[in-house]
């Protein structure tokens, strides 16, 4: 009896009818079969679907969608013919308007379930004017498939390359780069990298496009220093890629999933390209971090400035400042901004960006925020506002405690992960900071990712 109660009611390889009642955090449908949870990618809430079970665990199973027996009114035909094979997008089968609702709900669910925060205003998601062809940065693996060169995205949950001629979320020039590099490698007989054997030359192709300037960079990631047919390759790219100003080789000899290696050399043209966010120009190298959706990044940063409520007299700390993008937006309306970042190259870029844009009321410091912020405090620096845009994992407890000890009136938390955001907001609530409102921003249309800007206020400063 006890064993029977513990066994799953579904069997791998068999087909079942499942009612879908929600979406998981990766955009997959979540349904129940005899009160047992089944995840079905590309199924939607409110649908009844037929799915074949692919894996069975103790508390859940996953299935592959076979047929949609009663479709959701929000279901649409995916625009991309590779959608079901490719792992790059997860929400193309949902109308764009509904994608925005889904992302808002994802944030609400995380706040209530993980953060236990129930009285927070979560605004409607700010959508993109154009939810297609928006990515200014491409990084496609290069390999071999059926005896031919393949360039594209990995298939969902695997390292099988889906040969991609026209990725519908990439800037069209990045698609031009992918097609041209594939043709060049084929024509010149340059061996693509095989990650199983470690043989071959070209591992990845990266494209970077300055959407405001039209400047283009091509980065070829190779497994060896040697790049056969180097000059012929350069000539072909120069002739066929509009706006090209930079061709860079990055060498990564390691057996690793990390794309870029430590060695970078410019083969032709400039070391960098330039792009603009709002009124500011930014210099971007092969390794620079820069938001992949330029138009929506501007929306995001303007929202952060709005929540900061600056009048011109405030001191602001940007605790994970990267290359200084948010810091420069804040500096327009603050008295003084301090940017902190542990990556030295990013701080060098941030300082360069400040100089290039004539911004003099910002200071960038290399180091760990938990060490630098107490030092600033000892120097008498009292932030009115702290802005934080941490990695996907969120902030360590020690970082949050450091924020609270500095007693800013407001904390502006920019996040790309609702789960870690909710956890951190709950921790800050225990330190006297109440979450007032959250603004989701759709930076990554057609995918399950959602960016948010959150306003927290110190309890003593609220009425």
Catalytic residues: 416
Closest CA relative to residue 459, chosen from 402, 397, 407, 381: 407
Closest CA relative to residue 308, chosen from 286, 327, 280, 284: 327
β-strand partners of 277: 280
**Residue 388: Cβ-neighbour burial (10 angstroms; 0-12, 13-18, 19+):** buried
How far is 86 from 243, CA to CA, in rounded Å? Answer: 29
The 3-state DSSP class for residue 304 equals helix
Tokens in use for 7? Answer: 């066994």
> What is the crossing angle of helices 418-429 and 397-406, to 10°?
50
CA 206 from centre of chain: 16
Query: Residue-wise over 53-64: b if at least 16 C-beta within 10 A, else e?
Result: beebeeeebbbe
How far is 214 from 353, CA to CA, in rounded Å? Answer: 19
* 306 contacts: CB under 8 Å, gap ≥ 6: none
């Amino acid at each position: 009896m006890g064993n029977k109660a513990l066994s799953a009611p579904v069997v791998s390889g068999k087909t079942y009818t499942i009612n879908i009642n929600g979406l998981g955090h990766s955009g997959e449908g979540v349904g129940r079969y005899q009160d047992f949870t089944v995840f079905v990618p590309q199924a939607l809430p409110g649908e009844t679907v037929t799915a074949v079970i692919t894996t069975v665990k103790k508390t859940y199973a996953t299935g592959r969608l076979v047929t949609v027996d009663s479709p959701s009114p929000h279901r649409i035909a995916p625009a991309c013919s590779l959608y079901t094979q490719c792992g790059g997008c997860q929400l193309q089968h949902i109308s764009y308007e509904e994608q925005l609702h889904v992302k808002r709900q994802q944030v609400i669910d995380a706040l209530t379930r993980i953060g236990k925060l129930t009285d927070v205003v979560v605004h409607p998601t700010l959508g993109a004017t154009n939810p297609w062809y928006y990515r200014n940065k491409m990084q496609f693996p290069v390999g071999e498939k059926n005896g031919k060169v393949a360039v594209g995205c990995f298939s969902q949950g695997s390292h099988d390359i889906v040969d991609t001629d026209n990725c519908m979320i990439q800037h069209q020039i990045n698609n031009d780069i992918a097609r041209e590099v594939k043709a060049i490698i084929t024509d010149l007989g340059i061996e693509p990298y095989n990650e199983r054997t470690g043989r071959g030359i070209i591992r990845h192709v990266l494209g970077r496009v300055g959407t405001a300037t039209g400047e283009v960079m091509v980065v070829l990631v190779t497994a060896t220093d040697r790049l056969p047919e180097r000059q012929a390759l350069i000539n072909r790219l120069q002739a066929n890629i509009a706006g090209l100003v930079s061709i860079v080789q990055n060498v990564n000899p390691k057996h690793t999933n990390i794309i870029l290696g430590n060695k970078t050399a410019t083969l032709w043209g400039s070391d960098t390209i330039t792009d603009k966010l709002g009124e500011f120009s930014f210099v971007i190298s092969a390794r620079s971090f820069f938001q992949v959706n330029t138009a929506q990044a501007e929306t995001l940063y303007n929202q952060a400035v709005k929540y900061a409520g600056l009048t011109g007299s405030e001191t602001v700390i940007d605790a994970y400042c990267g290359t200084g993008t948010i810091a420069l937006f804040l500096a327009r309306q603050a008295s003084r901004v301090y940017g902190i970042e542990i990556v030295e190259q990013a701080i060098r870029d941030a300082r360069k960006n400040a100089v290039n844009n004539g911004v003099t009321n910002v200071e960038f410091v290399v180091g760990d925020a938990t060490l630098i912020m107490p030092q600033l405090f000892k120097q008498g620096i009292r932030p009115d506002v702290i802005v934080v845009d941490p990695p996907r994992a969120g902030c360590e407890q020690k970082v949050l405690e450091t924020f609270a000890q500095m007693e800013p009136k407001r904390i502006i938390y920019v996040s790309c992960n609702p789960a870690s955001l909710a956890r951190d907001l709950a921790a800050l609530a225990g330190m006297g900071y109440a979450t007032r409102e959250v603004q989701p921003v759709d930076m990554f249309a057609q995918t399950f990712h959602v960016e948010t800007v959150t306003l927290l206020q110190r309890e003593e400063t609220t009425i």
